[in-house]
Structure 1
Amino acid sequence: MSTSKKETYSSFIQYIEENQNRFYYLAYSYVKDPDSALDIVQEAVYKGLKSIDKVKEASYIKTWFYRILVNASMDELRRSSRSIPSDPAYLFQDQGNHSHDEKTPEQAELMDLYQALNRLDPKSKAVITLRYFEDMKLTEVAKILGENVSSIKSRLYRSLAKLKIQLEGDVFHDESEKQQ
C-alpha cells in the first residue's frame, strides 16, 4: 500500500471512529429501528473499506462516505418496502427524570419535527437531514446525492415549505384539541 493510500485509509478509519454516532442517528432517521440502523452503518463502513482505493484525496472522505451511508439507508428502505411507524421516543431514552409518556415541551416539538420529516419522500428528507442535522453545505449535499446544486436548493425550499405546512397543521390540531 503506497503512502498516500495508507494516509487515506488512516483518515477514513479516524473519520469513522470520530463520527460513528452521527452515522447511526442518520441511518436511524431513515429506518426507525436500532438494529437496522446499526446494520446500515456496518454495511456502509464495509462498502467504504472495500472501495477506499477509489478515494483520490483524504479531503473527499466526508462526502464520499455520506453518499455511501445515505444510499445504504435508502436501499434498506426499498428492501423493507414496508411502512415503519415513526417512533422518535427512542431518541429521548434516559434523558432526565421524564417518563416516556411525560415529554418536555422541547421533546414534544422535536418529536413533531421528526414525524413531519418522516412524511417527506426519502430524497427530500435526505436533503434536510444532511443540510440541517449534519450541518453540510449545499455543495456537499449535492455531491452526496449526485445532483446539481440548483436541484438541491429547489428540493430544500420545497421540503421546508412542506414541513412548515405540516408543523403548522400539527400546532393548530393540538390547539383545537386543548380547547375541547
Structure 2
Amino acid sequence: MILNTYQIIEKAIKGDEKSFIALVEARKEKLYRIAYSYAKNQHDALDIVQETIYKAFISIQKLKKPQYFDTWLIRITINCAIDHIKKSKQFINLNENKAIKDNTDQIEEFIDLHTALDKLEPHYKTIMILKCFEDLTFKDISKILDFPISTVKTHFYRALKHLKIYLKEDDIYE
C-alpha cells in the first residue's frame, strides 16, 4: 500500500516515528538551505537543522492540519535560525564557500550581499531569503509567516529598496 504525503503526516502526528523520519528526510535539503542562508556556514546550519528536527518531533502532535506541515516546518527552521544567530552572532566563514573562493569579485559581491541582508529587519530578511533563495511564492511565504499576501509583497519590495541602498552605500566607500 502506497501512502500519500497527507497520510504519512497524519501518521507522524499520531506518533509514528518512521513516518516523521521519512517526512524530514524528504525535506532535509530545503531545511539546510534555509538554515545556511541565516548561519552562512555548514556547522551552524547543521546545528539549526538538528534543533529544528528536535523541536518539530516533540511538537508534531500540535499540528492540526497536515496540509500545513511544510509551512510549519519552515517556520520552525526560521525561528531556530534567528535564535541561533542571536545567541552566537556569527560572521561569514569564507572557507565554507569554496565555489567562490578563487574569485575575488564574487567573494566581495557575496560579502556585500550578505552584509546588506544582515542589515535588514528580521522579517524583511526572512521574506528575502524565502523569495530569492528558496524561490517560494508570495502566497507560500504568506502562509509560512502568517501575514497577508499584501503585507508580504510590501515587505519584500521595501526590503529590496533597503538592499539597493545598502549596496550603493558599499560602492560609495570603495
Same fold by TM-score, threshold 0.5 exceeded? yes
Structure 1 pair 59/91, CA: closer, same or farther in 2 (3 Å)? farther
Deviation at 1:15, TM superposition (A): 4.2
CA contact (8 A) 2:41 2:96 kept: no
Give the whole-Å Cα distance in 2 for the aligned partners of 1:91 and 1:125.
Answer: 21
Q: Give the Cα separation in 1 of the matches to 2:170 and 2:164.
A: 10
Secondary structure at 2:168 match in 1: helix
Are the counterparts in 1 of residues 56 and 76 from structure 2 also a CA contact under 8 Å?
yes
**Quick one: distance in 1 between partners of 2:138 and 2:130?**
9
Aligned counterpart in structure 1 of residue 29 of structure 2, from 18, 21, 28 = 21
% identical aligned pairs = 34
- Partner in structure 1 of residue 83 of structure 2: 75
Q: CA deviation at 1:120?
A: 1.3
Cα RMSD for the two superposed structures = 2.8
Q: In 2, distance between residues paired with 1:74 and 1:169?
A: 26
Contact persistence 1:70–1:126 (CA under 8 A) = yes
Conserved in 1, the CA contact under 8 Å of 2:41 and 2:93?
no
Matching residue of 1:135: 135
Go from structure 1 to structure 2 and tell me whether the alpha carbon gap of 1:53 and 1:147 turns closer, same or farther (over 3 Å shift): same
Secondary structure of the corresponding residue to residue 103 of structure 2: coil
- 1:46 aligned to 2:51? no
What is the count of residue pairs matched by the alignment? 164
Residue identity opposite 2:117 in structure 1: L
User: How do 1:82-97 residues align onto structure 2 when only pairs under 5 Å count?
Assistant: 83-85=89-91, 87=92, 89-93=94-98, 95=99
Gaps of 5+ in 1: 175-180
Aligned partners of 1:88 and 1:115 also within 8 Å: no
Where 2:161 maps in the other structure, the secondary structure is helix
Equivalence for 2:15 = none
When residues 111 and 145 of structure 1 are mapped into structure 2, their CA distance, relative to the original with a 3 A threshold, is same
1:152 lines up with 2:160 in the alignment:
no
Residues 144, 11 of structure 1: alpha-carbon distance in 2 compared, 3 angstrom cutoff: farther
Shift of 1:125: 0.6
Unpaired stretches in structure 2, ≥5 consecutive residues = 13-17
- Are 2:72 and 1:64 aligned? yes
Aligned-residue offset at 1:104: 5.1
Equivalent residue of 2:173, what SS? helix
Aligned to 2:169: 169
Is the alpha carbon distance of 1:89 and 1:19 closer, same or farther for their aligned partners in structure 2, counting shifts above 3 Å? farther
Give TM-score scaled by structure 1 length.
0.74
SS in structure 2 at match of 1:136: coil
